[in-house]
Amino acid sequence: MPTAPAVIAAGLKGGAASPKTVLVTGASRGLGRALVLELAKRGHVVIVCLRSAEKVKSLESELMAFTPNASSSSAAPPFKHFVADLDVRSDSSVKELAKLVVESGRVPDIIVNNAGTINKNNKFWQVPAEEFDMVIDTNVKGIANIMRHFLPLMIEKKHGIIVNISSGWGRSAAAEVAPYCASKWAVEGLTKSVAKELPPGLAVVALSPGVINTDMLTSCFGSSAALYQTPENWAPNAAQMILNFTVEDNGASLTV
């Protein structure tokens, strides 16, 4: 069973004039990792969720590199990044994280539901049931868990944007990735339906990131994945787009 989230706080100082607090799931590698580093570099506060304890330290070090000198005499108020050990499949762990975030006074302005997984390329009937469950539990129920526990906090604040990372395969179909396609079509449907329930001040958006050279792309494209842009090249555009979302985007299906 996934463990309860342990929040490892890195105390930091300085930052942009009006930094946003952005929670990103699945930030151990790939798009999530590149996105949190880009957001931190721009002076925003990140709540980083990953499920690899070993990667917590290295990510903390990298976040520190984008932080003004902690010993500076600057009068800027201190702020904190959180690096939380979280498996999005665990509803109880997400609930615990939401509690910790409230206690720290850091209800996110933006949540990016990025954590995701894909089945090994295979005909649908050759995908083991456990693998199908893993894809649905992560890509669909993981997002549901986060929205279940964080939307009430945002509703209370009358403010917040949730970005559900979808895929081109949430709007089209391909052979050998049926579980993944099914999960991303579900992300699109979940997003559009929840959008109709939100009160003023909030928005939920489905965002296809494009095609980027990550472990996931290598899994489905093989060596051709290397022909595509790196997460580091992708992150500035993605961060800009995500930071610019407004309530006008509620229910939209967009692409970086």
Say which of 79, 169, 180, 245 is annotated catalytic.
Answer: 180
Q: Is there binding between residue 209 and ligand NAP (CB under 6 A)?
A: yes
Per the annotation, the verdict on 180 as an active-site residue is: yes
Q: Write each residue from 69 to 98 as x if it is in contact with ligand NAP (CB under 6 A), else as -, in one continuous string.
A: ------------------xxx---------
Tell me how far apart the terminal alpha carbons of the chain are, to the nearest angstrom: 34
CB 135 within 8 A of CB 219: no
Of 56, 110, 112, 115, the residue at the interface with ligand NAP (CB under 6 A) is 115
Q: Is there binding between residue 216 and ligand NAP (CB under 6 A)?
A: yes
What residues contact residue 12 under an 8 Å CB cut-off, 6+ apart? 63, 64, 67, 70, 78, 79, 80, 81
Residue that is written with structure tokens 């108020």 in the block: 77
Q: Is there binding between residue 215 and ligand NAP (CB under 6 A)?
A: yes
CB 237 within 8 A of CB 245: no
Pair of tokens at residue 10 = 């890195």
Rounded-to-integer distance, Cα 167 and Cα 249, Å: 17
Q: Which is nearer to ligand NAP, 21 or 214 (CB)?
A: 214
Hey, which residues between 9 and 38 contact ligand NAP (CB under 6 A)? 25-32
Q: Is there binding between residue 52 and ligand NAP (CB under 6 A)?
A: yes
Give the residue from 172, 162, 234, 173 showing the smallest Cα distance to 205: 162
Q: Is there binding between residue 191 and ligand NAP (CB under 6 A)?
A: no
Q: Which is nearer to ligand NAP, 79 or 134 (CB)?
A: 134
**Residues within the interface to ligand NAP (CB under 6 A):** 25-32, 50-52, 87-89, 114-117, 138, 142, 165, 167, 209, 211-212, 214-217
Active site residues: 180
